Chains A and B, each alone.
Chain A
Amino acid sequence: MNASFDHPVLIVAIPLLFAALCPIVGLFNHRLCIWFSLLGTALTSFLTLTLIGGIGPGKSLSYYLGGWEPPWGIEIRIDLFGLLMVCIIAVGGLFLVLYSWKYMQHEIPEARLPYYYSLLLLIYTSMLGFCITGDIFNMFVFMEIFSITSYALVAISGEKEAVRAAFKYLLMGATSSVCILLAITFLYSVTGSLNMLDTSNILRHLSPDYVKVSLVALLLFVTGFSVKAALFPVHVWLPEAHAIAPSPVSALLSALVIKMGVFGIFRILFTVYGAGFSHVSANWKTLSGIVAWAAALAILVGASFAVAQKDLKLMIAYSSVSHIGYIILGICLLSYHGMAGGFYNILAHAMGKACFFLVAGCFIYKKGLRKIEDLKGLGRIMPLSSGAFALASLSVIGLPPSAGFIAKWNILWGCVDSKKYVFMAVVLAGSILAAVYCLKVVYYLFFTGPRLDNTRIEEAPAAMCIPAALLSLGTLIFGIFSGTIIPALNSASRILMIK
């Protein structure tokens, strides 16, 4: 056994260890926790990035926990989609921990900082675990860890609205978790296996008596994960929770946590049920069609609500509802270009939306401003963070050459492939609405307010500006150099569709 063989476990084990030790470090020195968490996330990011060479389309990395072979033991299996997700989470988490350094000192009492970092590392661990596991029940456990920690993180400021938003989130989240647990039970009762690949093989040759039960399980899975992903009809918890949480937490929830719901839908629809099940029951295609319609409605409803908002963070939160729609629409188009586009939008949206929330946090930290109309002329006072916002809006709108453009282009291509021209109109209309709400903020930042010659620049601390600026540069870099990722995603999706 060489060192690289154990990597997949270390990705989960290291941040878990750091999360457990964080409060102990906090006993000695509250301020030391930030360095401790930075070390943990940096180490995990490094280990995650070393995985890149070994995984490609149709080539995945497996590790059997405790040496038990797959149908019996828990398997860790990283395929290309999982790898993309863990890379986004690992590096994104590193930026958010760095940003939290200054912001959270300002937001919560110092004695509570160790617990904040502990929760941050725990949610980081569980999201990584969720994306690399090959076992359905293990996925449920990781899902519960990130759900419970996110309820706590929303409420961490202890303010009136925050506690209420967290409770609302908890009620919906816990009910959806029960749905998923019930779905796992139904699926287990007809397949007798919890391993994803094994279950997929059993479902392919499922006896007709059991097809109905497995369909009920599929429906419950999709419903449950839709709540986690804040897909349109069940998105009601998202705007409040994301707008009220402290800005690094909002960025974490919006950029990463809701993507876990999307990834859950993807894993269940395609890895577990997948093309094999579509030969057993035609209802699989109907269900993915319904999910695609819900996603299309989410694009329009989310974007329209975002246009109407007066509060900057609330606007960004509604924009997330719209972008989740794009991702799920891309994945459920049943076309490999669409799926590649959907997954690329996970990357693009994670960077763009995290940058938005971080910049909104800079404004709150420095000026205490939340309303969009109050941001008049702030672009001249805080040029770096406002510039980052403007650059990231290109990606959120989907203008070339940003990553958002590449993602939307592929989703449009997917619409053409599967001959669903209504969705093309929806995707374009969503982009126009996105242009309205993003450029409104950019307009207030740069083109209104007093034009004084001796404006003093009052920028937020470097530890807050730099993550925001790097994320917005990332949207540009991944737009220009998308040629390395898109072809791999395309062929991985093609393998998944044919299988």
Chain B
Amino acid sequence: MNWSRILQNFNYAVSLLLFLMGLYTVAVKPNLVKKLMGLNVLETSVFLFIVSIGMVDSGQAPVLGGETLHQAVVNPIPQALILTGIVVAVSTTAVALSLCLKIHQKYDSLDAREILGKVVF
């Protein structure tokens, strides 16, 4: 195994790890709030990945001032993308948490085995 390659692409390795952790939590954990946390970890891993693809070593902020840029600049588009992505993730979480509150009121439980298990159909 080529460890130096992995260390060079440390961001990607962490993002993959977070992605798998998030997916595992969403799929396996029975507690609905934990599932939501997993969903947030999943989303964060993708955000990390998006920022990483735009990164340039010792790159500058791409602000066009009066003088021309001498150094390499980072790609601003991925940053704009995650900003939108974060807004989307926050609103999904808000809706999901309010649904969690409702579920707790109606079922007196947040355990997926008790709630989703009682499938009427």
Binding site for B on A (CB under 8 A): 137, 141, 144, 147-148, 151-152, 155, 158, 160-161, 163-164, 166-168, 170-171, 174-175, 177-178, 181-182, 184-185, 188-189, 194, 239-240, 243, 311, 314
Contacts and interface: CB of A to CB of B under 8 A. Distances in A.
B99 A166 contact: yes
Nearest to A175: B26
A171 B95 contact: no
A162 to B, nearest CB: 9
Interface in B37-85: 39, 42-43, 46, 49-50, 53, 77-78, 81, 84-85
Contact of B103 (A144, A148, A163, A194): A163
Interface in B100-121: 100, 102-103, 106-107, 115-116, 119-121
Given A167-B103, A174-B39, A182 B46 contact: yes
Contacts of B43: 178, 181
B28 interface: no
A194 B50 CA distance: 14
Nearest to A243: B121
A155 B99 contact: yes
A178 B15 CA distance: 13
Contacts of A144: 88, 91-92
Contact of B46 (A160, A178, A240): A178
A167 B81 contact: no
28 contacts: A137-B81, A144-B92, A148-B91, A148-B92, A151-B99, A155-B99, A155-B102, A160-B107, A161-B120, A163-B102, A164-B103, A164-B107, A166-B99, A167-B115, A168-B116, A170-B92, A175-B23, A175-B39, A178-B43, A178-B46, A181-B85, A182-B49, A185-B78, A185-B81, A188-B53, A188-B78, A189-B53, A239-B121
B121 A171 contact: no
Contacts of B81: 137, 184-185, 188
B46 A152 contact: no
A185 B35 CA distance: 24
A314 B119 CA distance: 13
Contact of B84 (A141, A239, A240, A314): A141
A171 B39 contact: yes
B13 interface: no
Nearest to A141: B84
A194 B54 CA distance: 14
A175 B39 CA distance: 7
Given A137-B81, A188-B77, 20 more contacts: A144-B91, A148-B92, A151-B95, A151-B96, A151-B99, A155-B102, A164-B107, A164-B115, A167-B96, A168-B116, A171-B26, A175-B23, A175-B39, A175-B42, A177-B92, A181-B43, A185-B50, A188-B81, A189-B53, A240-B119
B84 A137 contact: yes
A161 B118 CA distance: 10
A169 B75 CA distance: 35
A177 to B, nearest CB: 7
B23 to A, nearest CB: 8
Most chain A CB neighbours (cut-off 10 Å) among B78, B85, B116: B85
B102 A158 contact: yes
A181 B39 contact: no
Contacts of B88: 141, 144, 148, 177
Nearest to B47: A181
Most chain B CB neighbours (cut-off 10 Å) among A144, A148, A167, A240: A167
A188 B75 CA distance: 12
Interface of B: 19, 23, 26, 32, 35, 39, 42-43, 46, 49-50, 53, 77-78, 81, 84-85, 88, 91-92, 95-96, 99-100, 102-103, 106-107, 115-116, 119-121
Contact of A171 (B35, B46, B49): B35
Contacts of B91: 144, 148
Contact of B121 (A181, A184, A185, A240): A240
Nearest to B91: A148
Most chain B CB neighbours (cut-off 10 Å) among A147, A177, A239, A314: A177
A144 B94 CA distance: 13
A148 B49 CA distance: 23
A181 B99 contact: no
B66 to A, nearest CB: 22
B93 to A, nearest CB: 9
Contacts of B46: 178, 181-182, 185
Nearest to A155: B99
A160 B119 CA distance: 12
B17 to A, nearest CB: 15
A252 B37 CA distance: 30
A151 B99 CA distance: 9
A163 B78 CA distance: 35
Nearest to A182: B46
A411 B106 CA distance: 46
B106 A163 contact: yes
Nearest to A180: B46
Contacts of A171: 26, 35, 39
Contacts of A141: 84, 88
Contact of B106 (A151, A160, A174): A160
Contacts of A175: 23, 26, 39, 42
B14 to A, nearest CB: 15
Contacts of A147: 92
A243 B121 CA distance: 10
Contact of A167 (B53, B84, B99): B99
